[in-house]
A and B are shown apart, each in its own frame.
Chain A
Amino acid sequence: MTSVPVLEAKNLTRRFGGVVAVNDVSLRVGRSEIVGLIGPNGSGKSTMVNLITGELPADGGRLIFDGADISSQPSYRRARLGMARSFQMLRLFLSLSVEENLLLAHHIRMKSSMFDTIIARRSAVEEENSVRKRARELLAWFDLEEFADNPVSALSIGQQRMVELARGLISEPKLFVLDEPAAGLSPPNVDRLITLIHRMRDEFGMSILLVEHDMRVVRDLCDHVVVLDSGVMIAKGIPEMVVKDPVVVEAYIGSGWKRRAKA
């Protein structure tokens, strides 16, 4: 069982008009593994994430999630199968409270039917109460318990990021896709984020696909790294090796770096 990867992307391709944003990229995320997806701006990382989570349809290639082909499934079905994501540009339901944002992500795991909740059948009420309790526990885990009833719009960016992580966790995902979770965070908050992601993997056994700009985050967290440049995979391996790979260095700082370094 453990040999079956949680996610296997095979030869994914996506074009926008004449631009090939993602060109024949394959990657795999094993169980309880943290895989990094890195690359310079415009290298196709975000497109790759959207292909995996289903916001965009792929023009070619296949996606195997937990042993099943999900290539043609819409995003909400992928979420139901156990794929959660966070967004590069923070996304939360802004007119709802912190707790309600979490509850919504747990709807897909609820057993009582819609009708049961409307007539307030006892089992449905009990389930709702236990989910609220779970939401509070998770918020406590992220030091956000006191904000549970506040509107999310009243929180700071750093806190909103944590709500996004809590929202992913409450849906009990097999794979959590984090799209630049460190973006916009202050250095101490980045440290906290690294600890939290480590704990998410260790305490919940979760597999994580991490898209990141911040090399420190990548180095501290990732078991494997896949590097994209102009939509093509240019390197993969363990982080220490990849960051020294001349091809990767060139992609990040351009071919003139040696000349400029000498000057």
Chain B
Amino acid sequence: MKKLAILLVVALVAAAPFVVGGYETNVLMNALLYVILATGLNLVAGYCGQFSFAQGAFYGIGAYTTAILSRDLGTGFWFNFPVGIAVAGLFGLLLGIPALRLKGHFLAIVTIAFQTIVYLTLSQWTSFTGGQTGLPVPSIGPVSLFGTTLFEITSLRSYFWFTLVIAVILLFAVWRLLQSRIGREWIAIRDDETLASAVGLDTTRGKLTAFVGSAALAGAAGVITAHAMRGVTPDDFTIWISATVVAMMIVGGKGTFIGPIIGAVLLTSMPEFLGGFAEYKMFLFGVLLVITVTLLPEGLIGRVRRLRERFS
């Protein structure tokens, strides 16, 4: 029943480009990327309880990894994709180290600092990153197996479908991860770290794996974005991206699998309905965030679950 529902939703999303125009397809593509980013942040912040404002930085690290690799080594997407994920994961490990000693606000400030350092590096180290003008990135192009071209990823639609496939694979992997022991251990660390180590859990390893997993997912989204946009600029990976991802996770419901997905879709599509007010979307996100935190601490999903419990 549940499987069927998921299949139906995926099929509907996949069919969308046939119904809607190019602009809407682009919005949907963005929504998919934000789903990956918010789901990633949810691992470390929602499940493991380690707050991070650096998801945008890891997104940028993934994107710039593929841009620099294709510029300097001429390697294509299929080589750069795993490398981008790995590089982002490695930086995730780096940011995880201060998290072993810091908690709450202090950790959040360190992640903001990390985000700022990454942005400054991307915008100022001109010889390596191209500075403010950024770098061009080639399209993914034809995908061939044993010499025959299967399909080509160049059009917006093909990018959208490709991103959908990758997102479904990544979400499935995350779901398995959360069902496994590691998911349970993350919740344990979030609930009570002292108790977690008293029952023998290696909290250091638990926190670091959460940071790495979270960053790796952002890296994956970054590599895809770089190819889809045909280029990267530092302004695509600012702290505003990080803040938006945080808002998506919290509004949807952190610490639940489906919450950040809902939040990402909602906040990506919302500005499209605002017309002239779209300029003020960050203001709106801020208001939404405050409302959620004060009135719906478990996010929209938490609220829906409460209501369902009450009526059943």
Chain A residues proximal to chain B, CB less than 8 Å = 53-55, 74-77, 79-80, 84-85, 87, 91-96, 100, 103-105, 107-108, 110, 114, 117-120, 167, 171
Contacts and interface: CB of A to CB of B under 8 A. Distances in A.
Contacts of B182: 114, 117-118
Q: Would you list the 4 A-B pairs with minimal beta carbon distance, nearest first?
A: A79-B200, A108-B200, A117-B180, A76-B197
Contacts of B187: 93, 95-96
Interface of B: 176-177, 180-182, 184-185, 187-188, 190-192, 194-203, 255
A74 B203 CA distance: 11
A95 B200 contact: no
B160 to A, nearest CB: 29
Contacts of B195: 87, 91-93
Contact of B191 (A76, A96, A120): A96
A209 to B, nearest CB: 14
A96 to B, nearest CB: 6
Contacts of A167: 199
A91 B196 CA distance: 10
Contacts of A75: 197-198
Contact of A79 (B177, B184, B188, B197): B197
Contact of A108 (B176, B180, B188, B201): B201
Contacts of B185: 104, 107
A55 B198 contact: yes
Contacts of B176: 118-120
B209 to A, nearest CB: 9
A110 B196 CA distance: 16
Contacts of A93: 187-188, 191-192, 195-196
Contacts of A100: 184
Contact of A74 (B177, B191, B197, B255): B197
A62 B185 CA distance: 31
Contacts of B181: 107, 110, 114, 117
A87 to B, nearest CB: 7
Given A117-B180, A118-B182, A94 B197 contact: no
A171 B199 CA distance: 8
B187 to A, nearest CB: 6
B202 A76 contact: yes
B198 A85 contact: yes
Contacts of A85: 198
Given A76-B197, A96-B191, A171-B200, 9 more contacts: A54-B197, A87-B198, A91-B194, A92-B192, A93-B192, A96-B188, A107-B181, A114-B180, A119-B176
A134 to B, nearest CB: 15
A115 to B, nearest CB: 9
B292 to A, nearest CB: 18
A104 B192 contact: no
A118 B182 CA distance: 9
